[in-house]
Structure 1
Amino acid sequence: MMSQPVRSMTDNVQVSHLPRQQNESQSTVCDEAVEKTKEDLPATAETANIEPTESGKPKRKPSFYLAVLSLMLVILIVSLDATALSVAIPVITSDLNGTSLTAFWAGISFMLAVVIVQPIYTTVSDVLGRKIALYTGFVLFTIGSIIFAVAHSMSILILGRIIQGLGGGGLDVLNEIIIADITTLKERPLYLGLMSVPMAIGSALGPILGAAFSEYATWRWIGWINLPIIAVSAPLAVFFLRLKPIERSMWSRLASLDWIGLVLFAIGITVFALPLSWGGAMYPWSSWRTIVPLVIGIVVLTVFAVYEARPAHPVFPYRIFRSRTAVVTLIGSFIHGMVLYTLLFYMPLFFESVFLEAPLGSAVSMLPLLCMVTAFSGLAAWVVEYVRHYRWEIWLGWVLLTLGTGLFAVWDVNSSLAIKSGFQVIAGIGMGALFTVLPIPMQASAPTAEDQGLAVGVLVSFRLFGALVGLAIGSTAFSSTFGHGISSLGSNLPKDVVILKDPNQAIGFIPYLRQLRNLTAEELNAIRSVYRDSMQTIWYILTGFGGFGFLTSLLTASLTLETEELSRQYFDGDMA
């Protein structure tokens, strides 16, 4: 067995400066973490026949870069699709004669499906192979995109979004897992930086394209635009993503899957996530329709967590969570997803309701945030590639995220462009840095190189689950504050806005604020102030979570990045 570099299971020591020889002499720390058969042992760049360059880094063949391009296109389509719909939902709902309820499910169904399937893709790809899971993601995402684009009713559109989520969840998590498979930890910051570019570009362009399609063409292009990108990405993956196959028969791999764990997780996370999505929106949090499934989901997930100590290939291996650095990084990823995705949902609504901007204008107003996320998600990873340390970037990222999010509370109807843009820049730098730097300690803390892909898959799942929880918290905070704010205006609301007495109608009514003609300037400003105060509550909550993320990040250890081991599903450029 090849010696493994030391991983402190308690992270109480700094190992980034330990000599390589000393690291190898202490490799027995990880031997108890996982049992391997001979064919499952991790390879190195040397044993995988990858020639080094003069700098010592692996010399890659053209097929490797074409495979990386395929993964970058995967990230682009998922990022575009995940962010394009929110600004177009009012137009879609009107066009398909939908209701507030169907509009709600059109918006949340994709996220729910992604949260449910990501851990399943992670464990299935670890046992059956990455490419089988990747191809499944491509097929489901393509089918879902077509159904969405041709839908003539809200129910069919929601079905398309669910199928897109079932595929998109796999594509989203597998691109990061496969990058962990085909690169060494030593060179990974460079590729994490490259992968962040299409993610950030997609997140920036998504709202703009969604608004442009819905206003000037047709919202159906939100689905159609995925197809040409898939038509390029999928063939590149088929012909150039040459991963070393798992040396076991398909039947033996199927038999080794944790079927009971998969079923328990799928049931538990579905029953738990559904009331999180509708609590405070469809039903009150005090309703039995929210409480009962929430409790059942918690019970099933608890049974799942206890059971996971038994299987040989569990969905969530306990060994991934034994490191203190892994635990605090997962907490950070959860909070990062909570803050980022909640802001991406509510910020355009803030611009539309408080500043009375059109959907396209609100998407453009978000460009400072999105551009900073784009730039610094790549830059931060490349800085780690250069300096070989990551903790200070994580700490600085949390400080900027917390500061910038807190400053959003200063915004009001009279805020200048400089104030609106400047605060977004601060928050965007922090969010971008954390997006690509957090996976580095998560992978460095993995017991073996074999577990690095699994570790980053778990991290991505935590990020998206944080997004779901953040949206639930945001919905509850918004509805509660909005209800109190509207009540404070008195019972004699103008008839044009009397619908706002029901806080559940507040989001759907935003596009009509610009069209109100019978309200005086004072009455309209009062309504805008209620929207402002309601979203200010969300900024305060997210700021508090950002501060907690910073405090937990102080427990992150500085682990070595100087390892050259590859996963058993490494890139095999010599395969036919």
Structure 2
Amino acid sequence: MPAPLDRPASTLSSSATIPVSPSLEPKLEATISNHPLEDDTQAQKPAAGNPFAGKGSRFWLVFLALCVSTFLSALDLTAVSTTLISMAADLDSTEYSWVGSAYALTSTALIPWTGGLAAIFGRRSTMLGSLVIFAAGSAITGAAPSMNIVILGRSIQGIGGGGILTMTEIVIVDLLPLAERGAFFGVVGAVWAIASAIGPPIGGALASAGQWRWLFYLNLPLTAIAIVLVLFFLRIKEPQTTMKEKLAQMDYVNVLFVAGSTATILGLTWGGVSYSWSSYKVLVPLILGIFGMALFLWIEKRFVKHPTVPFDILSNRTSLAGFLMNFIHGIVSLAAIYYLPVYFQATKGTSAIQSGVNLFTLSFTIAPFAIFTGISIGVSGHYKLQNFIGWSLTIIGFGLTSMLRWDSSKGAWVGYPILMGMGLGVLYASTNFPVLAPLKPSQQPHAMAFFGFTRAFGQVFGIAIGSTVLQNQLTKNLPSEFTSQLGGSSEIAFSAIPLISGLAEPLRTEVRAAFANSIQTIWQVMIGLAGLGFLVAFAMRSLPLTSEVDENWGLAEKKPASASTAEVQV
């Protein structure tokens, strides 16, 4: 997530160089992992226990740029859901389901490649490229004359949005010692949660005014601000290599992974929503996608010198536990954010905008608990207890939420998700620490790119699992008198909701009860998954967090020169 510019403790002068051996390629990864920030001023060391102290103005300007970028990326992921009907009517199209899927698809599939590009072309260049691509996608979507162009624009937006989130995390890892990162990860987590919460109401309000295009046009000035701040203040020194050397470092086998993960995500996205799970349109991409990813892993393990997948990291028990917890957190968090509004619309008769407002109790709880958890880890130097607390609160929250019925009181549907939000917020800020704590500095940026992919892939699974459960349960629970009106639609859940308010009693109550009971099963599945996350936490070891600001954490002084014919600025 976001990263700073002015560094606490010692900084390198802009002329500092590190000589490297002529064999640049084997040393490239280690070199770029110690990206110091160029700065003319000596920043003060942060006060003990306060990770926010001692940072210069340039640090905060860059951190602001990265928070704005994260906000835009998260907002676009959720806000579009309440503009789809207006968008489809304006463009005279029924293919609106791809508007959301296209963004999620490209943002998830290309995340690992973003990490590789950052290692080769540098953090600043990759971040700027992600922002420009996101802005281009926003402009195309806003000006689109047809739904096909909207989908194209959203696909381009997704490439930029996924890159933004990945680069934010990588830059924080580069520029801050591990003991300080929790607080900043927490702030970024809060920004993500707030943007996810206010996105649907904002999108709905613009759609109601017939101005859905402004959801995308408004990205342009905000992205421009972020680009200017990154361009002028994020001066992370990069290896001075030729384009030929950069291209030689790229992992071209990653194309196979992108294709495989894309096919898998397509199958998961379509299954139970656009097509039945037994349809060849779902099974073929799932089978081919899984085969493609398996083939990619085999080739990477056997033949690739600088693999995209960090096999050396995955062999560490504590890091592997962190990745698994992050994947599960992605599943349960998106399931909560995605299906609570379905509960409100189907059982309480709320509009899309009001259901987004009702979600505030969850989202606005995630934000402060993410920040508090990050600070607590930095102050205490421990992360294991926070992970156990996070999973415990999440289990309790889903357990209480699973008790909601169609006629539950406002106190229940407002109060129960609060505990869920507390747990999810704690986990948002804590699951990266078991991943990073055992690793060498040169491994950490690579690990964070893969960390971002596991979270995004988990989020796709969260929507897919929830969709499958909901469709299957509705098939069993909805009264036949009502399902006969749906004409055999495979999208039972979303095609049925607009019809509920117009039903006569007692059929309306029966349908609302059927939805409540079906959504209850989603929460029960999430209880089981959160329980699995709790068990995985036992695999973690409690390792110390360094509070040193030195070369091992990207704040190196000049390294002693070695025999070389080339120099790389760091």
With the length of structure 2 as denominator, give the TM-score of the two structures. 0.87
State whether residues 334 and 459 of structure 2, in contact with CA within 8 Å, keep that contact through their aligned partners in structure 1: yes
Which of 538, 549, 554 is equivalent to 1:564? 549
Find 1:94's aligned residue among 47, 68, 89: 89
**CA distance, structure 2, for counterparts of residue 159 and residue 502 of structure 1:** 27
The answer to whether the 8 A contact 1:79-1:199 is kept is yes
Task: Name the residue aligned to 2:446.
Answer: 454
Report the counterpart of residue 371 of structure 1 in structure 2.
Answer: 364
Partners of 2:470 and 2:351 in 1: how far apart? 21
Alignment deviations for residues 99-127 of structure 1 (CA, whole Å, 9 cap, x no partner): 2xx22211211111111111110111112
Residues 412/500 of structure 1: CA separation in 2 closer, same or farther (3 Å cut): farther
Equivalent residue for 2:514? 530
SS at match of 2:68: helix
**C-alpha displacement of 1:44:** 9.6
Per the alignment, residue 393 of structure 1 pairs with 386
Displacement of 1:45: 8.1
Aligned pairs (5 A) from 1:116-515: 116-259=109-252, 261-309=253-301, 310-446=303-439, 448-486=440-478, 489-490=479-480, 492-493=481-482, 498-499=485-486, 501-514=488-501
**Shift of residue 51, structure 1, vs aligned partner:** 5.0
- Offset at 1:249? 2.3
Unaligned runs of 5+ in 1: 1-33
Aligned letter for 1:108? S
Which one-letter code corresponds to 2:124 in the other structure? K
Q: Deviations over 1:281-329 (max 9, x none)?
A: 2222222222222222222211111111232221112112121111111
Aligned pair 1:75/2:70, yes or no? yes
Is 2:37–2:236's contact at 8 Å kept on the other side of the alignment?
Answer: no
Instruction: State whether residues 397 and 429 of structure 1, in contact with CA within 8 Å, keep that contact through their aligned partners in structure 2.
Output: yes
- The one-letter amino acid paired with 1:521 is E
Give, in whole Å, the separation in 2 of the partners of 1:289 and 1:410.
36
**Cα displacement (A) at 1:61:** 3.4
Distance 1:571 1:174 in 2: 21
**Can you list the C-alpha shifts for 1:117-147, whole angstroms capped at 9, x where unaligned?**
1111011111221122212211211111112
Q: Is the 8 A contact 1:348 1:359 kept in 2?
A: yes
Q: Contact 2:474–2:514 (CA<8 Å) still a contact in 1?
A: yes
1:512–1:329 CA distance, 2 compared to 1 (3 A): same
Could you say if the C-alpha distance between residues 361 and 268 of structure 1 is closer, same or farther in structure 2, counting changes exceeding 3 Å? Answer: same
Q: CA deviation at 1:52?
A: 4.6
Distance in structure 1 (CA, Å) of the matches to 2:77 and 2:245? 36
User: Is contact 1:243-1:571 (8 Å) kept?
Assistant: no
CA distance in 2, matches of 1:394, 1:54: 26
Alignment match, 2:4: none
Alignment CA distance shift 1:571-1:60 (3 Å): farther
Letter in 2 for 1:558: S
- How far off its partner does 1:503 sit? 4.3
Kindly provide the amino acid, as one letter, of the partner of residue 504 in structure 2: T
2:139, 2:239 → 1: CA distance?
33
Q: CA deviation at 1:445?
A: 2.3
Query: 1:418 Cα shift?
Result: 1.1
Could you say if the C-alpha distance between residues 269 and 123 of structure 1 is closer, same or farther in structure 2, counting changes exceeding 3 Å? same
**SS, match of residue 85 in structure 1:** helix
Displacement, 1:234?
Answer: 0.8
1:454-496 CA distance string (max 9 Å, x none): 111111110000011121111111111111223xx23x449xx
Tell me how far apart the structure 2 counterparts of residues 531 and 467 of structure 1 sit (CA, whole Å): 22
Tell me: CA distance 1:523–1:246, structure 2 relative to 1, closer, same or farther (3 Å): same
Q: 1-side partners of 2:417 and 2:87: how far apart?
A: 29
Are the structure 2 counterparts of residues 315 and 501 from structure 1 closer, same or farther at C-alpha, using a change threshold of 3 Å? same
8 A Cα contact 1:244 1:570, kept in partner? no
d(CA) in 1 for partners of 2:37 and 2:507? 72
SS in 1 for 2:178: coil
Q: Which amino acid counterpart does residue 524 of structure 2 have in structure 1? A: Y
What is the CA distance between 1:64 and its match in structure 2? 2.1
Distance 2:38 2:230 in 1: 24
Q: 1:41 to 1:341 in 2, by over 3 A?
A: closer
Q: Could you say which residue in structure 2 is the equivalent of 1:17? A: none
Aligned-partner Cα distance in 2 for 1:226–1:37: 35
Give the secondary-structure state (helix, strand or coil) at the position aligned to 1:255. Answer: helix
**Does structure 1 residue 105 correspond to structure 2 residue 94?**
no
Cα distance 1:42–1:458, how it changes in 2: closer, same or farther (>3 A)? closer
Relative to structure 1, is the Cα distance of residues 41 and 419 closer, same or farther in structure 2, using a 3 angstrom cutoff?
Answer: closer
Deviations 1:409-464 (A, max 9, x none): 21112211111111111000000111111112212122x11221211111111000
TM-score by length of 1: 0.86
Q: Runs of 5+ in structure 2 lacking a partner? A: 1-24, 558-568
Q: What is the aligned partner in structure 2 of residue 3 from structure 1? A: none
Q: Which residue of 2 aligns with 1:553?
A: 537
Compared with structure 1, are the counterparts of its residues 216 and 46 closer, same or farther at alpha carbon in structure 2 (3 Å cutoff)?
closer
User: What amino acid does structure 2 have at the position aligned with 1:484?
Assistant: K
**Compared CA separation, residues 87 and 346, structure 1 to 2 (3 A):** farther
In the alignment of these two chains, the number of paired residues is 529
Residue 554 to residue 229, structure 1, CA distance change in 2 (3 Å) = same
The Cα of 1:264 is off from its aligned counterpart by 1.6
Q: How far 1:250 sits from its partner (Å)?
A: 2.7
User: How many angstroms apart in 1 are the aligned matches of 2:35 and 2:75?
Assistant: 35
Counterpart code for 1:222: L
Shift of 1:389: 0.9
> CA 1:38/1:231 → structure 2, altered by over 3 Å: closer, same or farther?
closer
Compared CA separation, residues 252 and 344, structure 1 to 2 (3 A): same
Cα deviation, 1:139-188, whole Å, max 9, x if unaligned, reads 21111111222223222211111111011110111111111111121322
How many Å separate the matches in 1 of 2:322 and 2:65? 28
Contact map agreement 1:244 1:569 (CA 8 A) in 2: no
1:273 Cα deviation after fit: 1.8
Letter in 1 for 2:153: G
| Segment of structure 1 superposing worse, 41-50 or 341-350 | 41-50
Q: 1:483 to 1:388 in 2, by over 3 A?
A: same
* Offset of residue 252 of structure 1: 0.7
CA contact (8 A) 1:376 1:429 kept: yes
> Residue 110 of structure 2: SS of its match in structure 1?
helix
Alpha-carbon distance, 1:378 to partner: 0.9
CA RMSD of aligned residues (A): 2.6
Q: Output the CA distance in 2 between the equivalents of 1:472 and 1:38.
A: 36
For residue 280 of structure 1, give the secondary structure of its aligned residue in structure 2: coil
Q: 2:376, 2:199 → 1: CA distance?
A: 27
